[in-house]
Structure 1
Amino acid sequence: MPLDFSAFTRVESSMAEFNVSKRHSHSLFIFSIILRKILYRKPKELMGSFNSAPKINNVDSQDDGLELPKGLSTDALLDHVRQLHGSGVVKPSLLSRCFLKPPLNSDDVTDGLRCLQLNSVSRVCSAPSDGAQHIRLLQWNILSQTLGQHNDGFVRCPDEALTWQHRRYLIVQEILQNQPDVVCLQEVDHFKFLQTVLGSQNYDGIFFPKPDSPCLYIEENNGPDGCAIFYKRDKLQLLGYDTRILEVWRVQSNQVAIAARLQLKASGREFCVCTTHLKARHGALLAKLRNEQGRDLIRFVKQFAGESPLLLCGDFNAEPIEPIYATILSCDLFKLGSAYADIKLEREREREREDQEQHTASCDDPNELIAQSIKREPPYTTWKIREDGEECHTIDYVFYTPQQLKIKNCLEFPAGEQIGKNRTPCFEYPSDHFSLVCDFELLDAPLSEDKSKPHGTIQ
């Protein structure tokens, strides 16, 4: 892509930590080029030709022949896609997962650990609450088809399991069987397919591609990958949305974010949801770049959401010990919590009450709160084997404003023996990341919303 030379002067004010003097314009020029090379990832086979690799500007057209029967219920559609996925051949079922319930009221006679039955949509096990203030959110990096099949090097995954014909209906099944109100996705490069299938179940969607998607440098691409938000239009009204290309030291990166303001039709209550996908790869410099992207993300969300209840989720490509995690949780603008960590804390407190032990004292020290949250995050949200080895760690999160939203339930992750020795993606699961599914309740006394904030524009 052509370099934006006006960006060099914008970087200048942030260069003190790199010991680059304003007088050394040549050093500034070189640094900006290096920064852009780091921020804009190309497929591995093109790494040596950053400036010369040709783009292949395909459009999202590989699913244009898709036809679905009209008027299918969710149950009927799931049966239909399972038949299409099988094509007359018996194939392994999607991985089974369970919901972990928080402390139950005395009049609730159901078990606290409920299994999600994947052969049908179970109203008992998987359906979200019908309460007017309840929201179920699904967060998932679904794995770009172009990158997953032609670039990412999943050496233990059978070739057939990586084909779009195999993966696309498993993706639909994973989403619809959980019946989310809001769906936040990353690495979406078949948006039209999802728009068609999810649209048949009353979902509308927003898509924002990466400005220089690595997919566009692979011949078999279906257009750029990016982030998407879908929402259940029979329950939620879209009031507005905004998009952003995240910046690092005032230079645009190749990572994006979408923020949407939604209103519950039954109660009129509003909330905001934002999703993003931060820079990948390991290393101290990359961790610093992710942290800068996170800081820019917070500024963007604050401007859009104001004081509204907020759900902030995505693939942050950072383990909890990285600076970006503390940056998000220590932000005074929102005072965010991590859904999966907080629900584990709820379970611990419930056990203490059952055992009549002394209740864990609340802590006001921000650093200690972050340290405790880190300990309670799940052991992994992605588990894969690539050419350079096995990766099993937590890099996907659902953050929320606990003063305005209460976490009620979370979908657990499958155990290692369920996943299998070849890990993911595989025949039983279509992505190298697991979906995160969370139930929230809007609290009765939320902070006052800033009605003067613009809602963005509906395009």
Structure 2
Amino acid sequence: MGGGATRLHSVLAQTLSNNSPLSLPSSHLGSCQRADANLDQVFCQEQKGSPLCPPDPVDLLRQCEEALRDRPQRIHRKFTHLSEGNGASSSPIRVMQWNILAQALGEGLDSFVNCPMEALSWSRRKYLILEEILTHRPHILCLQEVDHYYDTFQPVLSGLGYSSSFCPKPWSPCLDVEGNNGPDGCALFFDQSRFEFLDSVNIRLSAMRIPTNQVSVVTVLRCRSTGKYLCVAVTHLKARSGWEWLRSAQGSDLLRHLQNLIQKHPSGPVGSPFSDIPLLICGDFNAIPTEEVYRRFAASPLGLDSAYKKLSQDGLTEPEYTTWKIRPTGECCTTLDYIWYSQDSLRVDAVLNMPTEEQIGPNRLPSFSYPSDHLSLVCDLSFKEGE
């Protein structure tokens, strides 16, 4: 970056400071202003009327860490590198899946009884979320429970070179919380330097042909380095016990949509590039591995496998947990989040390990160290040779 590197990028200033029209409630103004001041050295801006120069992600990460300097020790995670086929790709595709916890739900409805309200404030959590994303720098980023898309994630990540699509829930529970920032939904981001956008569709998932409150974003991309196509979906299925049948129906509906998309349409051109396209499906399924919706994905004719099974010794077992929280009803430690991929076309090169119980801490998630009750899933994928 040039000599203007000490000035704040105007987009970030509008989205991460309280001078924005979409500011935080007055109860958060003091702490937010102190934290936002730490980002004043991150981005540069050209003269008025000229394009904004891209921020340096390393500088932004450093400033996020500075804004969070008073927090307990950060959770550090390492990658497990896998030796499959001819070895890891020299240029893998990094994918991140994460339910980031909607701000309105964290503060208003989710009742994390061991988490101080200060740790749930947006003035703190936005830096923790951004820090996690910047630490791993994914090429494809799939998020759920996004209720700050338009005022934070879209403009900030756009400044970092990401393009995105967002689909809010039709009846988001966030809207029941006073002072909410709008509905939560699913968001899909991709690195424009790595992928070319081809098409995207927002899907409202159905059960027995009846529309439900859960959604999916499906985007078709072309890899700039290989010229190969990739269909990416992000979703968030119905939560809570007793709704297993609905999750199964929603999962089946998503699989149906994806199968229709990637199959060559009878009226389409011969050799359509969307025929047999590799799939990547990320989401908070709200389903443990023994549930029917998990079995449907595992047994799908689309040939899907779950990336995080690669962490197990037998390669067949999911992690013990992807979420660990304490609510008034008790402690919940289970696996609900997945990265599914086309195993015939894609190879898993590396997987980010899950933190230990000691790293998470006795009060579980979220916390001053981690902004969500769900852990991020990150893996490196590459196209198999000849695919």
Question: TM-score with structure 2 length normalisation?
Answer: 0.81
Aligned counterpart, 2:293? 324
Distance (whole Å) between structure 2 residues aligned to residue 91 and residue 238 of structure 1: 38
- Checking the alignment, whether the CA contact within 8 Å between 2:197 and 2:222 is kept in structure 1 is yes
Aligned counterpart, 2:10? none
Which of 94, 113, 116 does residue 74 from structure 2 map onto? Answer: 94
User: CA shift at 1:72, angstroms?
Assistant: 3.0
Which of 309, 312, 321 does residue 380 from structure 1 map onto? Answer: 321
Structure 1 unmatched ranges of 5 or more:
1-59, 109-127, 349-371, 447-459
- Checking the alignment, whether the CA contact within 8 Å between 2:186 and 2:215 is kept in structure 1 is yes
User: CA shift at 1:344, angstroms?
Assistant: 3.6
Output aligned runs, 1:173-184, within 5 Å: 173-184=131-142
User: CA shift at 1:130, angstroms?
Assistant: 4.8
User: CA shift at 1:337, angstroms?
Assistant: 0.7
Secondary structure (helix, strand or coil) at the match of 1:152 reads coil
Aligned CA distance change for structure 1 residues 203 and 93 (closer, same or farther; 3 Å): farther
Q: Identity, % of aligned pairs?
A: 42
Output aligned runs, 1:272-421, within 5 Å: 272-283=231-242, 286-306=243-263, 307-332=276-301, 334-341=302-309, 343-344=310-311, 348=314, 373=316, 376-421=317-362
Distance (whole Å) between structure 2 residues aligned to residue 413 and residue 181 of structure 1: 20
Q: 1:69 is matched by which residue type in structure 2?
A: F
- Checking the alignment, whether the CA contact within 8 Å between 1:261 and 1:305 is kept in structure 2 is no
Distance (whole Å) between structure 2 residues aligned to residue 320 and residue 400 of structure 1: 16
Distance (whole Å) between structure 2 residues aligned to residue 246 and residue 190 of structure 1: 22
Secondary structure (helix, strand or coil) at the match of 2:362 reads coil
User: CA shift at 1:232, angstroms?
Assistant: 0.5
Task: Tell me the alpha carbon deviations over residues 203-250 of structure 1, each in whole angstroms, 9 at most, x when there is no partner.
Answer: 111111001111111111001000000100111111111111100111
Task: Tell me the alpha carbon deviations over residues 334-372 of structure 1, each in whole angstroms, 9 at most, x when there is no partner.
Answer: 01111111x246x65xxxxxxxxxxxxxxxxxxxxxxx8
Q: 2:339 is matched by which residue type in structure 1?
A: V
Output aligned runs, 1:1-400, within 5 Å: 61-62=22-23, 69-70=43-44, 71-86=54-69, 90-103=70-83, 130-131=90-91, 134-192=92-150, 193-283=152-242, 286-306=243-263, 307-332=276-301, 334-341=302-309, 343-344=310-311, 348=314, 373=316, 376-400=317-341
Secondary structure (helix, strand or coil) at the match of 2:78 reads strand
Q: 1:92 is matched by which residue type in structure 2?
A: P
More off after superposition, 178-187 vs 299-308: 299-308
Secondary structure (helix, strand or coil) at the match of 2:68 reads helix
Instruction: Provide the alpha-carbon RMSD of the alignment.
Output: 2.1
Task: Tell me the alpha carbon deviations over residues 237-277 of structure 1, each in whole angstroms, 9 at most, x when there is no partner.
Answer: 11111111100111111000010011111221111110100
Aligned counterpart, 1:352? none
Aligned CA distance change for structure 1 residues 324 and 104 (closer, same or farther; 3 Å): closer
Q: 1:396 is matched by which residue type in structure 2?
A: D
User: CA shift at 1:288, angstroms?
Assistant: 0.7
User: CA shift at 1:105, angstroms?
Assistant: 9.4
Aligned CA distance change for structure 1 residues 296 and 62 (closer, same or farther; 3 Å): farther
- Computing the radius of gyration from Cα coordinates, the structure with the larger value is 1
Q: 1:221 is matched by which residue type in structure 2?
A: N
- Checking the alignment, whether the CA contact within 8 Å between 1:259 and 1:304 is kept in structure 2 is no
Aligned counterpart, 1:25? none
Distance (whole Å) between structure 2 residues aligned to residue 130 and residue 257 of structure 1: 31
Number of residue-to-residue matches in the alignment: 331
Q: 2:303 is matched by which residue type in structure 1?
A: K
Distance (whole Å) between structure 1 residues aligned to residue 106 and residue 117 of structure 2: 10
Secondary structure (helix, strand or coil) at the match of 2:251 reads helix
Aligned counterpart, 1:52? none
- Checking the alignment, whether the CA contact within 8 Å between 1:137 and 1:183 is kept in structure 2 is yes
Task: Tell me the alpha carbon deviations over residues 4-44 of structure 1, each in whole angstroms, 9 at most, x when there is no partner.
Answer: xxxxxxxxxxxxxxxxxxxxxxxxxxxxxxxxxxxxxxxxx
Aligned counterpart, 1:8? none
Distance (whole Å) between structure 1 residues aligned to residue 367 and residue 377 of structure 2: 18
User: CA shift at 1:303, angstroms?
Assistant: 1.9
Distance (whole Å) between structure 2 residues aligned to residue 84 and residue 69 of structure 1: 15
User: CA shift at 1:129, angstroms?
Assistant: 6.0
Q: 2:61 is matched by which residue type in structure 1?
A: L
Q: 1:298 is matched by which residue type in structure 2?
A: L
Secondary structure (helix, strand or coil) at the match of 2:245 reads helix
Distance (whole Å) between structure 1 residues aligned to residue 65 and residue 90 of structure 2: 27
Secondary structure (helix, strand or coil) at the match of 1:253 reads strand
Secondary structure (helix, strand or coil) at the match of 2:136 reads coil
Aligned CA distance change for structure 1 residues 76 and 438 (closer, same or farther; 3 Å): same
Distance (whole Å) between structure 1 residues aligned to residue 84 and residue 176 of structure 2: 51
Aligned counterpart, 2:273? none
Distance (whole Å) between structure 1 residues aligned to residue 132 and residue 284 of structure 2: 17
- Checking the alignment, whether the CA contact within 8 Å between 1:246 and 1:253 is kept in structure 2 is yes
Q: 1:209 is matched by which residue type in structure 2?
A: P
More off after superposition, 191-200 vs 180-189: 191-200
User: CA shift at 1:103, angstroms?
Assistant: 2.7
Q: 1:157 is matched by which residue type in structure 2?
A: C
Aligned CA distance change for structure 1 residues 129 and 158 (closer, same or farther; 3 Å): farther
Distance (whole Å) between structure 2 residues aligned to residue 400 and residue 379 of structure 1: 20
Distance (whole Å) between structure 1 residues aligned to residue 358 and residue 66 of structure 2: 27
Q: 1:242 is matched by which residue type in structure 2?
A: V
- Checking the alignment, whether the CA contact within 8 Å between 2:311 and 2:353 is kept in structure 1 is no
Aligned CA distance change for structure 1 residues 227 and 62 (closer, same or farther; 3 Å): farther
Distance (whole Å) between structure 1 residues aligned to residue 85 and residue 304 of structure 2: 26
Aligned CA distance change for structure 1 residues 105 and 208 (closer, same or farther; 3 Å): closer
Secondary structure (helix, strand or coil) at the match of 2:217 reads strand
Distance (whole Å) between structure 1 residues aligned to residue 221 and residue 145 of structure 2: 23
